[in-house]
Amino acid sequence: MATQLVIKTKIETERTIKVAPFRKNVRRTNPHKHNSYLELIYLSEGTGMHGIDSMEYPIEPPVIHIVRQEQVHYWQLDSEPEGYVVLVKKAFIEKSLDGELKSLFTKISGQSCLQVRENAMIEGTLALMTEEIGVHGENSFTVIEGLLKALLAKILLVSSPFVKQQERKAGTAQAFIQLLHDDNGLKHTVSHYAEILNVSPQNLNMACQRAIGKAAADLMAEFVIAESKRLLLYTDLTVSEIAFSLNFTDPSYFVKYFKKYVGPTPQAFRSGTG
């Protein structure tokens, strides 16, 4: 019998942001999700694995993991972790009048695992945020807003997306994944990427099956749906605007595509009624 997925809440209803040290006693957790906030985890120490949706990321500090509110994740840690956790609700970002902060938040929400090259300022900023929120709560909104902006900007400046070792060696499949990661706009047809890579759709599919264990269309759909969810949750774009941004020429087809993989319509998913 299937068990219902646990939904955890680690922040009080009235609060819109929380920063705290990562709990040292965490070792194993069952798959669960958070429905009201984005979670940013910075680890300076620890070993093991962090699962986010269908991906498994090895803990290789210093590292940052981002879990969006619709994603399922779990921990399998082998040693004592050290780091910080930042929980941010969309309401905090909406309250800000700083357009750059909103842009940084949207960019960071598109990542899952970032390998950090320089961590001194990141750790210092997280310590300041922890102290500021602990003393003043959200009464010092402007200070916390500025620190969050500095944190996100620095993370994006000194980090790079994690690439699994098997993907580094995957040749055509890795080139396909890199294209899907690009900021030039996702396409939702395998033939588009096959043409860029100068291979047939059939050969691209076989390359993905051998290297990743997934069909090219399924791998592409994961990226398209993940980006769709991110845009629905973290931007004010209409469903039609999101469809066109993902290169769907017909918004109604985008709705059908989204329902096929997710269940509810895009609008129901956004409103939380799906």
- How high is the mean pLDDT of the chain? 88
- pLDDT tens digits, 101-124: 999 998 898 888 999 999 999 999
What is this structure's pTM? 0.72
Domains of the chain are 6-161 (2.60.120.280), 165-271 (1.10.10.60)
Q: Are strands 6-7 and 32-33 parallel, antiparallel or unpaired?
A: parallel
Q: Is the pLDDT of residue 96 over 70?
A: yes
What pLDDT is stored for residue 169 in this prediction?
43
DSSP SS3 for 7: strand
- pLDDT tens digits, 154-204: 999 999 887 655 444 457 887 888 788 765 567 778 998 899 888 999 999
Sign of CA dihedral 208, 213, 218, 221: negative
Residue owning tokens 């879990």: 67
- pLDDT tens digits, 143-156: 999 999 999 999 99
